[in-house]
Homo-oligomer: A and B are copies of this chain.
Amino acid sequence: MVGLNFDFAEIDAIINARSLAIVGASGKPFKFGSLFTASQLAFGFSGPLYLVNPGEREIMGHPCYPDLNSLPEVPDLVYVTIPAHRSLHILRECARLGVKGVVLLAAGFREIGEQGAELEAEAVSIARRGGFRIIGPNCFGIYNPRNRLTLLPGHDFSDSPGEVAFISQSGGFSAHVARMAGDLGIHFSAVVSYGNGADLNEADLLLYFSMDPATRVISGYLEGISDGRRFFAALKEAASHKDVVMWKVGKSESSSRAALSHTGSLSGASSLWEGLFRQCGVIEASGVEELCDVLLALKHLGRRPGKRVLISGGGGGLGAYAGDLAEAEGLEVPLLHGHTEARLREILDYPGSSVGNPLDIGTPLTHLPVFEAAIREAALNPTTDVLVFDLALNFAHGLFGDSGLEEAANILVRIRRDTGKPVVLVLYSRAVGLKDMAVEELSRRMRDRLLSGGVPVYPSMARAMRALSLVNT
């Protein structure tokens, strides 16, 4: 670690800051300062929170200070939400006071060209001399449910701490991942949007979270890196301690162009990245949905749950389609064990069902005791590692109603608990109109029940198979 020039405590003092000031706090709509202030006030920081703006006496019912110097204490962390060209002045004040860290939200630094790059270099130089570290610029900041720090615009993030870290050059994607994952019961140790990474960058954050005892999974969105050797060493270090999931963009020409104008990053050749990830055992995911899908699988199935899947659901077409998907993703769909097959033939003795792998129960859902017996037997099948069941909610709803479907969710949770075998549910409705909100609501209620019982839920067979494939890498 010494060779990597890294200090855990420095970063920890920022992420787990115990006091916070917002410079540029505002009540005026459509400004970063006001959006962030409103979010942070609504989320409720766990320690003292000071609003700073020379032009205001009070913001949203909270007192406002004219400058950092007037605060009753020196805050651990200062969020600077004012425009780039006025921020250096604040950084000098931070240096003088001895804060531990600064988050620079504003854009207008390296990503806009030479003039911005000079400003950025000067900001870093002030921090170095002042003995504090910077997150940003051109970022949305930090979300940490433990000290209830939030990033822009995260007033509605989960307040449950968890085991997943997410680091990102994109503020938007930080907020997307934090919000969506939270709704799927995936909770965070912290999410850090670090933008241009002028001072603290991806390598520092990887090293920090690889040592952070609260973090079990490190995930990230990357456009480019500032120091290749240090990043590779940090990634290797992180992946040797934790599960690491990376979403890398900038593989195409237009994407590289976008990355350059976004965070001033040079993104590099895609083959190099893929080789690097493979070498380090890093899971590569693409897009917010796929990243969340992988995090869900890691949470409920763990890393490398096994590639042998048992596919089940109602309808022969489903099995034919799912079999193709599984094998295209490098999964296996082996024949059933003889014993399982014999037992299933006794249970599924009605026309329309078909015993095998895929296992066709004939209709999207069947008489619940028969469903439970068949799926329990299927889960116990010794030639497979994971059971994947497919449920078309709109069809089943007509036959079983809300209560039948909620009981079906309970059955899957029971089977998962009793057998210890990973169970995955593909849950969707083909009724997607404005008039079908009740089915959508039922689907979310079932999903919450299943997730709290250890059964990950995916909205399509394609996404389930892809997630299973990725956690097996």
Contact = CB atoms under 8 A, between A and B. Distances in A.
B434 A172 contact: no
A358 B461 CA distance: 31
A432 interface: yes
A254 interface: yes
Contacts of A257: 323, 356, 358
Contacts of A274: none
Interface in A231-268: 249-259, 261-263, 267
A334 to B, nearest CB: 8
Interface stretch (A48-56, A128-136, A313-321): A313-321
A436 B158 CA distance: 13
A326 interface: yes
A462 interface: yes
B251 A351 contact: no
A444 B448 contact: no
Nearest to A193: B317
A441 B431 contact: no
A4 interface: no
Contact of A395 (B153, B320, B324, B326): B153
Given A352-B107, A434-B444, A250 B315 contact: no
Interface string A343-386: 00000000110101110100010010000000000000000000
A98 interface: no
A175 interface: yes
Contacts of A288: 430
Given A252-B327, A261-B316, 7 more contacts: A30-B367, A176-B430, A256-B323, A258-B358, A286-B462, A434-B448, A437-B444
